[in-house]
Structure 1
Amino acid sequence: MTTRIRPVPIRTVATTPAERRVARALALEPGGPPSLQARVANRIIRTSMKTAWHYSPDTEAGLLWIQKATALLGRFQTVPRGVAITPQELDGRTAEWVRAGAPDEDKVLLYLHGGGYFFGGPRLYRPFNWRLSAATGRPVLALDYRLAPRHTPADALDDALAAYDFLLSRGYAPRNIVVGGDSAGGHLTLALLLALKSRETALPGAAICLSPWVDLLCESDSHRLNKSSDALIPAGKLAWLGREFCRDKEENDPLFSPRRADLSGLPPMLFVASGTEILRDETLDVAERARAAGVQVLYQEWDGLVHVFPVFADFMPEGKAAFRHMAEFLLGAGV
């Protein structure tokens, strides 16, 4: 299920045992069995994070409880020496720049974090974003979009549009902008591309969608078939949340766009999913529909890994390897 593109050779010469372990991790490809580290991480994530979400109440108070708990966790996220974090105001919205090493300042990656549209943020995603900057050789602008229950996914889309317009105003050529996101942020990435297309704004050079929550109504078969094997998301909780977001919406509402929209004309896109997560089928579906619409698409499916496993790169080698695959994709797409 993986379409190969022009690979990027690993140039690191491994001399110490630690370096050899890193080199082996980076060489991982989709299709193989999950590593021991990944299996252990899956168990820990299932026991802690999935259980906490499963037993939280289906109320605004329940969402705010998880939001506050993850915000507290974000306060403890650190980055290695040589990574620069710079706050950025965006016309009343906030974001932060993440620069690892000496990135190409003519290029940029706008990243839209996951979290079901109700938790997460740039601070929580710092370990992810510095790796993304290092792998792609460009600064990452991590958007702190507005969250439920006080705001809606439509507000988040307005924030994403404002962030994209900000990058254009800073002189970035659309071809040199990449947009990426995971889970709800993957849905937001797709919604942003379609909104830009609708208003005839020049599209970015490429997009990365990691386990995107394409269908907010959670109607694909994997929501049922992978209900037990998904180590992070309680299927019933996500379905409830999606119904709340889509309550009283018309079928042509932009929230439904990634599932029903005309995907022609979109830029090259990378889709990544785990075969055991509940969002697997909709990720594959949107990738196939985009390819059928003439879009250059790379779809990767990894076996037995947690939802958005690159976010957990500190704990599993497949997560580290995913960043090499993202860099390969951008090189193959010519951006």
Structure 2
Amino acid sequence: MALTNRDVLTFLPKCLWIFLRLSLNTLFAPLRSGRARSKTIGVYIRQRWTQALFYILTAGQIQFIFPVWLAAYKAQMKKSQKPTAVDNVPNTQVQGVWFGDAKTATTIMVYYPGGGHVIPGLAIHAAALDRWTSWCQGRLAIFAIQYSLAPAVMYPTAIGESVEAVRFVLQGPGKGKEIMVGGDSAGGQIALAVMSHLGGHPHPDVDIVRPLDLKGGKVKGVILLSPWTSSDTARFASITELSGVDIISPTAIKYWSDLYQGSKPDDPYIVPEMADANWWMGVGEVTQSIFVSYGQDESFKDAITSWARKFQQGVGNDKVRVVAGENEGHNGPLSLLPERKLAAEIVEHEKSAEGALRYCVGAAHDIHWIGIAFSLALSSVGIVTGSTIAHTFVVNCYKEAAGECIIAVILWRNTIGFAFIYSILLEGQ
């Protein structure tokens, strides 16, 4: 989007205002109160900075200062010393970039980076997607597209482009492989629109969102991080009440939504929360499993939980896992945590949304067969010596969405002490 004359004239004054706000927030950060006290000063300042940026700048100014998705992707690949791969999405004007090797992967995820429909995919998206494929050690490849952004292009063009990305993967690099769909924030909204389109509710604008038949197949998994399910501040108080501890404000939400939606009325493709449980039954029929995360301190919390109740009822509770990240705001899993902290989290009792996601996408650890052998050896020793096992913490086999792993976590504690044994067993297809 080109800058307007007004954008050019107001850009410098707005930047000075943002700097002033950031300086004041930094100065008074030690005096923060309420839920903000639970945030570290660094997290609090970053949240205030990001929210000020989104609140004060226009869409044109934001798109001017942020690099395009392709640039963010190339920078990440250079940082991780991996090759780049880019494909055009047929029947569109957009491109997608590859994380992981599509030729050797057994599962391919089509991913839609969020950004309020106005912000391109960012460096944090590239870093997260790169990490996910590393977790899966070659079994997962991700095709992440940059759909067209508002206000240059409005609803439902981005949905049409996103459907075409799925078609491209199904008919090309993903043919004969397992397919996933994912997205965060506005990208999560688009992912839900794509799944509605595939799950018995084809979009009525067939010229823009072309029909796509899975021909009896299923999407293996859907990953939704802080999906944008509604902007209704009258119904969902958290949009306003939690904006003080999150990166997005009610003003920015309304501004971006208006740019994307234009004069079109609300519908389930724009506002997934307005769809009832019956709507989502079709999605359940074409999907094996769904992972949803949101932050306990995020503005969209009320809207997401309201939508999730109906979604789980329609799809089936056995197919959906909903995780609330402790002390997290919007898009918590994109604020990457140290691997050692993630590895310490207990399956299905994770405190961070990223920790839960890590097991969802099938993280494989170096321990692998060595860990299994060690577990069996310790068990044998315990039986031979007569040691008493005082506590077995978890025998939890969790078949995740992308990597086809069985994660077994067993905590043994005997009369001498305790040993923590952590192993992952790859399941054959």
* Fold shared by both chains (TM-score > 0.5): yes
Task: Determine the structure 1 residue equivalent to 2:72.
Answer: 74
> What is the root-mean-square deviation of aligned Cα atoms in Å?
3.2
**C-alpha distance in 1 between matches for 2:61 and 2:259:** 17
Task: Determine the structure 2 residue equivalent to 1:45.
Answer: 46
Deviations along 1:110-152, one digit per CA (max 9) or x if unpaired, are 1100100001227662211101212243111010110011011
- Per the TM alignment, residue 326 of structure 1 is displaced from its structure 2 partner at its CA by 2.9
Residue type of the alignment partner of 1:151:
V
CA pair 53-104 structure 1, distance change in 2 beyond 3 A: same
- Per the TM alignment, residue 333 of structure 1 is displaced from its structure 2 partner at its CA by 4.6
Residues 22-101 of structure 1 mapped to structure 2, 5 A cutoff: 39-56=40-57, 62-71=58-67, 74=72, 77-79=75-77, 80-81=79-80, 83-91=82-90, 92-99=93-100
Structure with more contact order per residue of length (Cα contacts < 8 Å, sep ≥ 6): 1
Unaligned runs of 5+ in 1: 1-33, 57-61
Deviations along 1:201-223, one digit per CA (max 9) or x if unpaired, are 22411101000011144542211
**C-alpha distance in 2 between matches for 1:127 and 1:43:** 22
Deviations along 1:82-109, one digit per CA (max 9) or x if unpaired, are 5332111112321111117x98523101
SS of the counterpart of 1:142? strand
Deviations along 1:149-172, one digit per CA (max 9) or x if unpaired, are 101141110110110010111163
CA contact (8 A) 2:325 2:353 kept: no
Residue type of the alignment partner of 2:400:
G
- Per the TM alignment, residue 257 of structure 1 is displaced from its structure 2 partner at its CA by 4.3
Task: Determine the structure 1 residue equivalent to 2:193.
Answer: 191
**C-alpha distance in 2 between matches for 1:161 and 1:50:** 31
Task: Determine the structure 2 residue equivalent to 1:21.
Answer: none
Unaligned runs of 5+ in 2: 1-34, 203-211, 342-351, 364-397, 405-429
CA contact (8 A) 1:175 1:204 kept: no
Q: Hey, which bits of structure 1, 4+ residues long, moved more than 6 A?
A: none
Among 221, 229, 247, the alignment partner of 2:237 is: 221
**C-alpha distance in 2 between matches for 1:118 and 1:326:** 29
**C-alpha distance in 1 between matches for 2:271 and 2:81:** 41
CA contact (8 A) 2:273 2:306 kept: no
CA contact (8 A) 1:83 1:130 kept: no
SS of the counterpart of 2:334? helix
TM-score scaled by length of structure 1: 0.77
Task: Determine the structure 1 residue equivalent to 2:293.
Answer: 272
Greater shift in the superposed pair: 78-87 or 132-141: 78-87
SS of the counterpart of 1:141? strand
1:306 aligns with 2:291: no
- Per the TM alignment, residue 332 of structure 1 is displaced from its structure 2 partner at its CA by 3.2
**C-alpha distance in 1 between matches for 2:330 and 2:176:** 30
Greater shift in the superposed pair: 105-114 or 247-256: 247-256
CA contact (8 A) 2:245 2:329 kept: no
Residue type of the alignment partner of 2:76:
T
Among 291, 295, 301, the alignment partner of 2:312 is: 291
CA pair 75-287 structure 1, distance change in 2 beyond 3 A: closer
Among 297, 303, 321, the alignment partner of 1:282 is: 303
SS of the counterpart of 2:148? coil
Task: Determine the structure 1 residue equivalent to 2:125.
Answer: 125
1:205 aligns with 2:220: yes
**C-alpha distance in 2 between matches for 1:133 and 1:285:** 31
CA pair 289-312 structure 1, distance change in 2 beyond 3 A: same
Task: Determine the structure 2 residue equivalent to 1:234.
Answer: 249
Residues 244-259 of structure 1 mapped to structure 2, 5 A cutoff: 244-252=259-267, 254-259=269-274
Task: Determine the structure 2 residue equivalent to 1:10.
Answer: none
CA pair 174-288 structure 1, distance change in 2 beyond 3 A: farther
CA contact (8 A) 1:96 1:122 kept: no
Residue type of the alignment partner of 2:110:
L
- Per the TM alignment, residue 327 of structure 1 is displaced from its structure 2 partner at its CA by 1.9
**C-alpha distance in 2 between matches for 1:253 and 1:125:** 26
Aligned residues: 294
**C-alpha distance in 1 between matches for 2:87 and 2:172:** 12
Which structure has the greater CA radius of gyration? 2
Deviations along 1:168-190, one digit per CA (max 9) or x if unpaired, are 11163587111110000010110
CA contact (8 A) 1:103 1:133 kept: no
CA pair 126-164 structure 1, distance change in 2 beyond 3 A: same
CA contact (8 A) 1:117 1:184 kept: yes
**C-alpha distance in 1 between matches for 2:108 and 2:273:** 24
SS of the counterpart of 1:300? strand
Residue type of the alignment partner of 1:221:
A
Residue type of the alignment partner of 2:63:
Q
Task: Determine the structure 1 residue equivalent to 2:161.
Answer: 159
Deviations along 1:4-63, one digit per CA (max 9) or x if unpaired, are xxxxxxxxxxxxxxxxxxxxxxxxxxxxxx9x997344223223211122222xxxxx10
CA pair 75-271 structure 1, distance change in 2 beyond 3 A: closer
CA pair 298-68 structure 1, distance change in 2 beyond 3 A: same
